[in-house]
Amino acid sequence: MGIELSLNDGDLISGTLDVLVLKALSWGPKHGYGIGRWIGESTDATVAVEEGALYPALHRMERRGWLESKWGKTELGRRAKFYGLTPRGHKQLIAQTKRWHSYSQAVSLLLDRPSA
């Protein structure tokens, strides 16, 4: 009765969250909760971001100087922390996007080969 341990639908592929967050902010600041929603909606829930992954990621990226934050108010009048891209964050977005494309293309090509 082995437990089937593998990647569940919706689960993140580790390491892809950062670039998604950076992209989310490339149109201007967003608050954390909204970033999570945005990623889920923009991928039709193919990518689901747990809050336990999201908030540490935001703090991490701020610590690295990719993001900066300030408290503000949402459209609904609620208190929220807004994150924006720093210049270094923008550079990261470029670099990680490039990296993602070459990596994912390489993997996809490989997986698309007819096997047998």
Partner DNA sequence: TTCGACACCTTGACAGCTTAGGTATGCATC
Partner DNA sequence: GATGCATACCTAAGCTGTCAAGGTGTCGAA
Which stretches of the chain bind DNA, using CB under 7 A? 5-6, 8, 10-12, 14-18, 31-34, 49-53, 55-60, 74-82
Residues 29-48, mask of contacts with its own copies (x by CB under 8 A): ----------x--xxx-xx-
DSSP 3-state of 70: strand
Read off the tokens for 93. 């977005």
- 3-state SS, residue 16: coil
Round to whole Å and give the CA distance between 67 and 116. Answer: 47
- Interacting residues of 81 by C-beta distance below 8 A, sequence separation 6+: 31, 32, 69, 70, 71, 72
Q: Which of 26, 50, 51, 78 binds its own copies (CB under 8 A)?
A: 26
What residue ranges bind its own copies (CB under 8 A)? Answer: 2, 5-7, 9, 13-16, 18-20, 23, 26-27, 39, 42-44, 46-47, 64-65, 92-93, 95-97, 99-104, 106-111, 113, 115-116
